[in-house]
Amino acid sequence: MGVAEAQESRTDEKDDPGTGRRGDAGSLEGAFSALESKIRSLAARVGELGAENGRLRGALGETVAERDRARTEASDLREAAGRSSAEAEQRLAGLESEREEIRLRIERLLAALEEDASPASP
């Protein structure tokens, strides 16, 4: 009960000169009216908070789903990077082997050319 309502309640409790009775009925009516107003206000606020809670729970569900999707995507990317790395290493090893074979063939060709060129020189 607010300060103004408390003061009203105190003034209502004064003796009523016409009846010789205290003004209890009026003060109770005012108190009940104030209580009803407060209860309606609180009920409306509870409803608002319930709606906000529902909205926040929905947003939380979406956030959790997004987090799980991002985790799955990151895991897939790590796995793909691992495969790509292994594939790249295999390809690099194959290219190095091919380069070595080509180098050996060039050396043999140069040796053969040198042999062919040496008997004709004297």
- pLDDT tens digits, residue range 15-37? 444 444 455 777 999 999 999 99
Structure tokens at 5: 């309502």
State which H helix or E strand residue 97 sits in: helix 24-120
Q: What pLDDT shows up at residue 13?
A: 46
Rounded CA separation 71/63 (Å) = 12
Rounded CA separation 35/41 (Å) = 10
Residue ranges of alpha helices (H) inside 2-23 are: 3-12
What are the phi and psi torsion angles at 21 (to 5°)? -110, 160
Residue 122 pLDDT > 60: no
Residue that is written with structure tokens 């991002």 in the block: 70
Structure tokens at 80: 């793909």
Structure tokens at 3: 């300060």
Going from N- to C-terminal start, the domains of the chain cover 3-116
Q: What pLDDT shows up at residue 120?
A: 56
> Structure pTM?
0.44
Residue-wise pLDDT tens digits, 71-86: 999 999 988 888 888 8
* Residue among 51, 14, 53, 7 nearest 30 (CA): 7
